C-alpha cells in the first residue's frame, strides 16, 4: 500500500477556506486515496509556525496556508525556500490585489468569514423563530423572544416579525382579540420587550374591507364594521394599559419604517 502524500494546511483561523481551495485544486490531479490533509489551525506567531514548517519538512509535506498577517506570510515563504518545501499562499495574492484595487489596507483580522457565518446562522434561527411563534400559535415563544408584537388583526404583525427576523431579532407576535384572553406570559415579561401596534379605526376599516374583497366576501361582514373595529381597538388599549408597554402608531407607516422605530428603541434599552 502506497504512503499517502501529506498536505499541511496552515491557518490563523480554523482552516476551512484553505481546505476548500486545496481540495478543488487537488481534484484536478489525484484522488483522495493518494493524499492526506492535515489541518493546523490558529497559527498566530512565528514560534508555532517554525515548529510546523520543520515538521512538514521531515514529513516531506506540501504547505497550503491562509495567513492574514503579512509578517507570518513572509516568514513561511522564506523558510519554505530554506527547507525546500513546496508552499502555496492561498489568500495573500488576493489581499494584495484587493488592497491595490480598493486603495485601502486590509483589516488583518483572522476569522472574519466565520463571524459572518455566525451572523448568517443567527438570522436563519431568528426567521425560523418568527415562523414558529407567529400569530400567537405557541405562547412559550413570548418568554424566549427578543421582541413581542401585539395588535389587532391586520396591523402587519407577521410581515413586521419577518422583517425584524432578517435583522436577527427573535420576534413573537400575538393577536389581540376580545373573545380570547391574551396568554399569561404576555403579562410576565418585561414591558419594554413588548410593542403594541396601534392603528386608526378608518385605516383599519379600509384594510379589512380590501381583505374581505380579496377573499370574495361581502364588505359588510362584522370583521370590517366600524362597531367591531372600535370594540377591538378599545380592548387592545385596555391590554396595552395592563402591560404598560410602548406603542407605535402604524396607520401611515410602511413595515420598514415601523421596524426601524422598533430597532432604534431596542438599541436604546
Q: What is the pLDDT of residue 1?
A: 40
Q: Give the three-class secondary structure for 144.
A: helix
Residue in this structure with the C-alpha cell 497559527, named with its chain if needed: 43
Residue in this structure with the C-alpha cell 506570510, named with its chain if needed: 73
d(CA 173, CA 139): 9
Quick check: 62 pLDDT over 90? Answer: yes
d(CA 84, CA 268): 58
Q: What is the full DSSP assignment across 50-73?
A: HHHHHHHHHHT-EEEEE---HHHH
Using a pLDDT cut of 70, give the percent of the chain over it.
96
**Average pLDDT over all residues of the chain:** 91
d(CA 49, CA 45): 6
Q: What is the pLDDT of residue 4?
A: 84
Quick check: 86 pLDDT over 50? Answer: yes
Q: What is the full DSSP assignment across 122-164?
A: HHHHHHHHHHHTGGGS-THHHHH-SEEEEESTTS-HHHHHHHH
Residue in this structure with the C-alpha cell 492561498, named with its chain if needed: 90
Q: Could you give the strand order of the β-sheet that contains 5-11, starting from the edge strand earlier in sequence? A: 35-40, 5-11, 62-66, 87-89
For 173-213, what is each residue's pLDDT tens digit? Answer: 999 999 999 999 999 999 999 999 999 999 999 999 998 98
Compute the average pLDDT of residues 218-232: 88
Q: What is the pLDDT of residue 116?
A: 62
Beta pairing partners, 249: 198
Compute the average pLDDT of residues 215-226: 82
Cell of 29: 490531479
Q: What is the pLDDT of residue 45?
A: 94
Quick check: 117 pLDDT over 80? Answer: no
| Secondary structure letter of residue 82 according to DSSP | H
d(CA 85, CA 10): 14
For 39-61, what is each residue's pLDDT tens digit? Answer: 999 999 999 999 999 999 999 99
Amino acid at each position: 500500500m502506497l504512503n499517502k502524500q501529506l498536505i499541511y494546511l496552515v491557518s490563523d483561523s480554523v482552516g476551512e477556506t484553505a481546505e476548500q481551495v486545496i481540495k478543488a485544486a487537488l481534484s484536478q490531479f489525484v484522488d483522495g486515496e493518494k493524499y492526506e490533509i492535515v489541518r493546523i489551525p490558529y497559527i498566530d506567531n512565528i514560534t508555532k509556525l517554525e515548529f510546523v514548517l520543520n515538521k512538514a519538512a521531515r514529513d516531506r509535506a506540501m504547505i497550503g496556508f491562509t495567513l492574514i498577517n503579512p509578517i507570518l506570510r513572509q516568514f513561511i515563504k522564506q523558510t519554505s525556500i530554506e527547507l525546500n518545501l513546496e508552499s502555496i499562499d492561498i489568500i495573500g495574492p488576493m489581499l494584495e490585489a484587493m488592497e491595490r484595487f480598493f486603495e485601502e489596507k486590509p483589516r488583518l483580522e483572522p476569522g472574519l468569514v466565520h463571524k459572518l457565518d455566525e451572523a448568517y446562522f443567527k438570522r436563519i434561527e431568528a426567521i425560523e423563530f418568527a415562523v414558529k411563534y407567529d400569530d400567537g400559535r405557541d405562547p412559550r415563544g413570548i418568554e424566549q423572544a427578543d421582541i413581542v408584537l401585539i395588535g389587532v388583526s391586520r396591523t402587519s404583525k407577521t410581515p413586521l416579525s419577518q422583517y425584524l427576523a432578517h435583522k436577527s431579532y427573535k420576534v413573537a407576535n400575538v393577536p389581540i382579540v376580545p373573545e380570547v384572553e391574551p396568554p399569561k406570559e404576555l403579562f410576565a415579561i418585561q414591558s419594554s420587550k413588548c410593542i403594541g401596534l396601534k392603528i386608526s379605526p378608518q385605516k383599519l376599516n379600509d384594510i379589512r374591507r380590501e381583505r374581505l374583497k380579496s377573499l370574495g366576501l361581502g364588505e359588510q361582514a362584522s370583521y370590517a364594521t366600524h362597531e367591531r373595529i372600535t370594540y377591538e381597538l378599545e380592548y387592545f388599549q385596555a391590554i396595552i394599559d395592563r402591560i404598560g408597554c410602548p406603542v407605535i402608531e402604524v396607520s401611515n407607516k410602511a413595515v420598514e419604517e415601523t421596524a426601524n422605530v422598533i430597532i432604534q428603541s431596542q438599541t436604546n434599552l
